[in-house]
Structure 1
Amino acid sequence: MTAADADGWVRTARDGAVLTVTLDRPDRLNAQTPATWTALAAVGASLDDDVRVVVVRGTGRAFSAGLDRSLFSTDPSTPGGLGELGQMSAELAQERIRTYQAGFRWLRSPGIVSVAAVQGHAIGAGAQLALACDLRVLTQDASLRLPEATLGLVPDLTGTSTLTELVGYSRAMEICLTGRAVAAAEALTMGLANAVVPADGLDEAVRGLVTALTAPPVGAGRETAALVRSAVRNDPESQDAAERAAQARRLAELAGR
């Protein structure tokens, strides 16, 4: 096993309040393995209070083509493969998948806003990683696809909840069951993408978005992000109460209390 295998081909770089997380396996279109998800979860666990924005990206011509092909093996001796999971008890298989999901769910942790910079393909686990982020900037050649159902599986890396939040029930149902690709232009129309830019403009667009996200005072930015997240699930009365409580905290800080 090489060092890259062990760390799941995940690289990080810090610039002040911005942490960039990069999938660095361009020869395999940034295909993911369980080691990738373990490494991503470790990044989430290591966040400190000074990180405000996390940018997730992939090197090369694709964001991520999804699951590494070797893991589709039905041979139970293939570590991390579908065959190995299929031979486990339901309880053990679910616990294993829960640990994989931890590599995705932290991208909506309190205190940060996450941005996926997506070029080329984002398929399966790749699409779910992009969906796990709060915001997405896509290049014009980008597309997202969740083909799991067509392969006899289901999206199990947090993708069903994040997709449904973004596009609604009926669109999410259609996208998940047909497994079709959603091209960048359509993604922008349906709210999957916040922006679509030329391939050579991705870095600049992400920098501009990051600058805007970090412009508000830290406390106001974090409280607002928390309110937007809770609004997805709260009833109006609960959300109104959350707004009142957050504003009271902001006013007290501004007043120096």
Structure 2
Amino acid sequence: MPYLKRDGDVFVLYLGTEGQTIDSENRFHPDWITEVHALLDEVEASEGPAALVVTADGKFFSNGLDTDWLFGNFDKNCWYLDRVHSLYSRLLAFGLPTVAAVNGHAFGAGAMLATSCDFRVMRADRGFWCLPEVHLGMPFTVAMNALLTNRLVNQVAVEAMTTGRRYGADDAIAAGIVDAKADADALLATAIARADMLKANRKPNLPVIKRALHQQALAGLAVETTPENLAFNP
């Protein structure tokens, strides 16, 4: 399950289970989502200047939806997807500055999680940011579409969403998907340093600014997923 550490005034939220790294895909199981929210509650309950880094260990940042759970509980698919969306909304309007340290593959829902942070630093030598839904025969929900079309330049959204292109760090920077890159051994420190520079911006007006800035995305993310607006059957 996800866990939290702290480096000075920077909270570091790890998406995987402590001590389990290489094979952990950090998929969005319902219990995993609940735990991430609980850790974000803990961060928000802190006082004083602070910022948040979201990262993981090993090969994956996050490999997205927990498809085993989803297809085993398909009668709950709309409920599940709205739980996924709740993390995106939470991060978009989070009361602290946020930086994603994309340590490895960020696919599908995992790529969208990184995109929900204020800034992104990606590992330079390996790992892809990718939206593979077109290859999987899966649609984007109304909420996901709102997030991606408001956070990405239009033509980048077209390419990413309709071709499933895998973006390495250099291509992701060129497309504006991520902001910077760093070698694997410097990635977390780079993200923490970037977050630390922003910690003084933790003021009551920060989430107000974010909610206004991301008004359209947040409105789309608030649209409840229903069978009528999710044209998908397994």
Question: Do these two structures clear the TM 0.5 threshold for a shared fold by scoring above it?
Answer: yes
In structure 1, runs of 5+ residues without a counterpart are 1-8, 73-79, 235-257
Secondary structure at the counterpart of residue 26 of structure 1: coil
1:97–1:145 distance in 2 versus 1, CA, 3 Å: same
Identity of aligned residues (%): 27
Q: Which amino acid aligns with 1:53?
A: A
Q: What is the distance in 2 between the residues matched to 1:225 and 1:195?
A: 24
Question: Residue 76 of structure 1 corresponds to which residue in structure 2?
Answer: none
Number of residues of Structure 1 aligned to a counterpart in Structure 2: 209
3-state SS of the aligned residue for 1:81? helix
1:28-84 superposed Cα distances (whole Å, 9 cap, x missing partner): 34331222212112223442152731211111132123334xx34xxxxxxx32242
Give the Cα–Cα distance (whole angstroms) in 2 for the partners of residues 157 and 59 of structure 1.
31
Contact conserved, 2:52 with 2:99, CA < 8 A, in 1? Answer: yes
Q: Rg bigger for which structure? A: 1
Q: Does 1:82 align with 2:67?
A: no
Instruction: Describe the SS at the equivalent of 2:61.
Output: coil
Aligned-pair distance for 1:131?
A: 1.2
Q: Does 1:223 align with 2:205?
A: yes
In 2, the alpha carbon distance for the partners of 1:157 and 1:146 equals: 15
Q: CA deviation at 1:16?
A: 5.2
1:20 is displaced (CA, Å) by 1.2
Report whether the alignment pairs 1:200 with 2:185: yes
Distance 1:217 1:84, change over 3 A: closer
Q: State whether structure 2 residue 64 is matched by structure 1 residue 42.
A: no
How far is 1:176 from its partner? 1.0
Name the TM-score, length of structure 2 as normaliser: 0.76
Question: What is the Cα deviation at residue 110 of structure 1?
Answer: 4.2
Whether the 8 Å CA contact 2:30–2:83 is kept in 1: the answer is no
Whose helix fraction is larger, Structure 1's or Structure 2's?
1
CA distance in 2, matches of 1:27, 1:142: 13
- TM-score scaled by structure 1? 0.70
Partner of 1:31: 26
Unaligned runs of 5+ in 2: 217-234
Q: CA offset at residue 226 of structure 1?
A: 4.0
User: Using the alignment, how far apart are the partners of 1:94 and 1:230 within structure 2?
Assistant: 27
Q: Give the Cα–Cα distance (whole angstroms) in 2 for the partners of residues 152 and 104 of structure 1.
A: 22
C-alpha distance in 1 between matches for 2:87 and 2:142: 8
